[in-house]
Structure 1
Amino acid sequence: MQNFTITNIIVFIFLFITGNACAQIETPSLGFSQACASPIFNTYGVSFSFTGSELGGSNQFIVELSDETGDFSNPTVLHTTAVGAITTSPAIINVSMPTTIAGEAFRIRIKGTDPVATSVPSMAFPAYYKIQDEPFSINNLVSTGVYCSGGSYLLTIDNPGTGDNDSPLQYPSLTFNWFRATGPTTEVFVASGPTLEVSDPGIYFVAINYGPCTSVNTNTSNKVTISEASSGGSSTISSSLGNPYCASQGLTTLSTVSANSYQWFKDGNEITGATDQTYITDESGTYAVNITLNGCSTSASIDLDANQFTSSIDVSEAPAENLMPPEGTLIVTLTDTANTPEYEWYLNDVLIAGANSASYEATEIGNYKAVISQTVGCISSKEFLFTIGETFPNVENIPNLISPNGDGTNDTWVIPQAYVSGTNAEVIIISSQGEIVLQTNDYLNNWPQEELNFKDVNPVYYYIITTQDNKTRKGSITVVK
């Protein structure tokens, strides 16, 4: 009896000890190689198996996260299951990463409470919570920067930046890495921090430090080309809407490098008050800016095209006047490179019905407008204003003063219809030196056809008009500017 009792006690103790010693949780398997969490995605699966004695009724599984070095001295609990929620092996638990996570060597382990057991930690993995996951800007989106020889240029992350720019500087936990591009898709690391002082030419940009989770599409800034300027050198101007750009999109912003002072020009003329780093416009033209930096000066220019198509008209534009030919019609033709163009013609601001081709045969005098519209791609238009006047207007008197300055008024010597082409009247114009400068029986109201060069003294010419019935008119013509 005594031997039987002792044997049973020993067997019971052995079974109890070995049964608990065999309870174990295997190394967890991760359904990911790196955790790139963000506000729109933060769910990761952890699977594990357990063996040994049966689970107790009060058992819970706990998923723990190490620090960024893999140490579990002060673990973070990612998930705790409800009592008795998991009873069969294998099992999967979905966890979310902390919003402050950032590092390269995190590990996960599983703990059980009934019986008490702890798994071997998982393989190490990088993990980052991308609290800011949108493109952002540096250098106020200006694509260039210039520094004087021996100086430097400071690149900064914009805060907050323009428009809806989500500046990463608004998130104090983030760190940044600056790079210099070495090719279209390659770069070298330069430095870390929210700013970068550049003293070497190159193309630079900055990325939020999300380790292998960094995305070139959402976690990096625009690129900025930095160059060294010498006095009298040349810089660049960028257009926010590109060049050429579609004027129907609105105003474009011309930007140049950051400097101490600026002066903008259009077509060689100084733009009054345009002394900022940017200039806003919707007009085509050649824009230039004089730039003063610390210790040197430079300049930049851009030929801005706001319409994306070229066009011309084969008559003189207003205010110059085109004379109606003696036959009573004048064919006006437009030439353009517009994509699927449409044409409109106006006379005295009234649309001419049916006039919708690139040419128009005008039969009336007046003020005309021709409009070319590009209907595919950049929706834009150009217009031309021109005037058609009488070839031989019915003036009453022979003028003794003309001003051939191209303003469309009194540019030529226009005489009464009784002496012009078709009347066979002879018209002679003589200079003050006695030289005959014009002699014709077919005067077209078009003298002088060539520019009369003079500086201070207004030249005087003399005319003799002899009609077909031998009546003569004589007088002088004074030319003024």
Structure 2
Amino acid sequence: MLKPTYLSQFIYGICICLAFMFQKANAQIVIGTPNLGFSQACASDSFNTFNTTFIFSPESVLNASNQFIIEMSDADGDFSDPTIVHTTAAGSVTVSPATIAFSIPETTTGENYRIRVKSSAPAATSARSVPFAAYYKIQDSPFTINNLVSTGAFCSGGSYLLSIDNPGSGNNDSPLQYPGLTYKWYKETGPTTSSFVADGPTLTVDTEGTYFVKTNYGTCTSNSFSNRVTISEAVSGEANATIVSSLGNPYCPEQGLTTLSTIGGLSYQWYKDGNLIEDATNQTYQTNASGSFSVQVDLGECSASGSIELVSELFDSTINVPEFNEMAEEDTLLVTVTTTAINPEFTWYLNASVIPGETNASFEATEFGDYRVSITQTTGCTTTVDYLFSIEEELDLFPDVENIPNLISPNGDSINDTWIIPTQYVSGTDTEVMIMNSQGKVVVQTKDYLNNWPENDLKLTRINKVYYYIITTSDNKTLKGSITVVK
């Protein structure tokens, strides 16, 4: 027997390794049918995680680079063009049984989806899972039909068209904004029961009843449904046209215009307080007023009419002082506001700063400045009304001056703005005051002078302009002089 050499031992080892590698490369793995951790895959933007569990054998043949792949069929269970919904990281799953989470695409909608599991190294594919319903609820909130009007009417032998409102705005998240959705219409058969009527975004109704529509999410429950609309037949030729205010009634005008909507027809005419509103000939009419609004709707072979007493929650209020006020330095001014606001709050400001502690409807002002009072209604329609007023120091029209001035500067600074003469020559002394310009034209002639000249803009064309005065007292004494007006 030949003694093995080191070379023969080395070659033998290589052969064993190659044989082992060849055996592993050709090893087979079996993946069991995936079990679903759910009965329906009803997904939305707030939830989209589902689990499946499967077994595989033997564990030892998995390559370190192996990945498990979850594939989902089309809505009919066909895997001709499957969608990959999850792929595990290489070598991350090595123990059987395994549970993997996945998410469904946003385009998913149907009742017979299936999944299967595949491995990459070695390659294998499981059997298909049991079928399951799967829907991604891209729109899952209530929406409106018929402009939220709760009624509709059709003439005898005619029909009424119900449709989903679009576009979505405010409280109406219209599903028509999401392409690809389908809809199912229902008719109420009892307080809690209904029957399917038809598919589509609109419904033509020729039978009296109460109707609504749901977004078609199959057996998945959802909140994507419309308001109810009761349709009646106008047998007598005159039907009721319900009017709905989009902001409610009463409504808060601070939110903007409210939209009045009525039932669908061929043509419309709106009225306010019995008077025709020009160009108000659409199914809707916007307003921010209160009053009695009515509408006439032409349904074709018959007509409909309706009315609503629209009430605005904007309150009334008044203030007892004008915008501009004067008072002496030692005086005060009592300011009072009155209002119909519900649970009003009052805030007083002086020169844009809140006056501490002043929260009543009345305020006694002792300082000069710019004031503001805010009235806020805190119950119902929360809204605020502001009043602005100012208080300036009262000018003394008849100050005690010794001499007749010969210079004035009417520049609006309240200093030397008017020609102020001694009190023995002003109103009540039977003294005539005459002022003439440099051409001799009389600009003032009065026995009731109030220290108020010039009252108007003199339109000075040069820096100084000279006027002349003649003062004649009750005992015929005369004083004459000049007045220089400085620009």
- Counterpart residue number, 1:107: 114
SS at match of 1:210: coil
- Counterpart residue number, 1:242: 248
Match of 2:271 among 242, 245, 265: 265
- Counterpart residue number, 2:326: none
SS at match of 1:236: coil
In the superposition, the TM-score normalised over structure 1's length comes to 0.56
Identity %: 58
- Structure 1 residues 93-129: Cα deviation after superposition (integer angstroms, max 9, x where no partner): 2322233322112222223344454434333221012
- Counterpart residue number, 2:37: 31
The answer to whether the Cα contact below 8 Å between 2:149 and 2:243 also exists between their aligned partners in 1 is no
Comparing 121-130 with 177-186, which one deviates more in the overlay?
A: 177-186
The answer to whether the Cα contact below 8 Å between 2:149 and 2:242 also exists between their aligned partners in 1 is no
- Closer, same or farther: CA 273–106 of 1 in aligned 2, 3 Å: closer
Opposite residue 94 of structure 2, the aligned amino acid is T
Is 1:89 the counterpart of 2:92? The answer is no
- Counterpart residue number, 1:223: 228
- Counterpart residue number, 1:147: 154
- Counterpart residue number, 1:176: 183
2-side partners of 1:354 and 1:165: how far apart?
Answer: 40
Asked which structure has the greater CA Rg, the reply is 2
Comparing 133-142 with 149-158, which one deviates more in the overlay?
A: 133-142
Match of 2:49 among 31, 34, 43: 43
C-alpha displacement at 1:151, in angstroms? 0.5
Opposite residue 376 of structure 1, the aligned amino acid is T
2-side partners of 1:379 and 1:165: how far apart?
Answer: 23
- Structure 1 residues 17-46: Cα deviation after superposition (integer angstroms, max 9, x where no partner): 9x968x533332333322123445433222
The answer to whether the Cα contact below 8 Å between 2:261 and 2:285 also exists between their aligned partners in 1 is yes
C-alpha displacement at 1:303, in angstroms? 2.0
- Closer, same or farther: CA 300–117 of 1 in aligned 2, 3 Å: same
The answer to whether the Cα contact below 8 Å between 1:284 and 1:307 also exists between their aligned partners in 2 is no
Which structure 2 segments of 5+ residues have no match? 1-18, 318-337, 347-357, 363-374, 386-487
Opposite residue 24 of structure 1, the aligned amino acid is V
C-alpha displacement at 1:164, in angstroms? 8.7
The answer to whether the Cα contact below 8 Å between 1:140 and 1:162 also exists between their aligned partners in 2 is no
The answer to whether the Cα contact below 8 Å between 1:144 and 1:225 also exists between their aligned partners in 2 is yes
The answer to whether the Cα contact below 8 Å between 2:59 and 2:95 also exists between their aligned partners in 1 is no
1-side partners of 2:294 and 2:44: how far apart?
Answer: 45
Opposite residue 377 of structure 1, the aligned amino acid is G
Match of 1:200 among 203, 207, 213: 207
C-alpha displacement at 1:211, in angstroms? 1.2
SS at match of 2:304: strand
- Aligned pair count? 319
- Structure 1 residues 138-193: Cα deviation after superposition (integer angstroms, max 9, x where no partner): 33444432211110011223343556965434544322111223456543211111
Match of 1:213 among 195, 220, 225: 220
- Structure 1 residues 217-245: Cα deviation after superposition (integer angstroms, max 9, x where no partner): xx223333322224233321111111222
In the superposition, the TM-score normalised over structure 2's length comes to 0.56
C-alpha displacement at 1:285, in angstroms? 2.5
1-side partners of 2:85 and 2:181: how far apart?
Answer: 22
Match of 1:191 among 193, 198, 211: 198
- Counterpart residue number, 2:305: 299
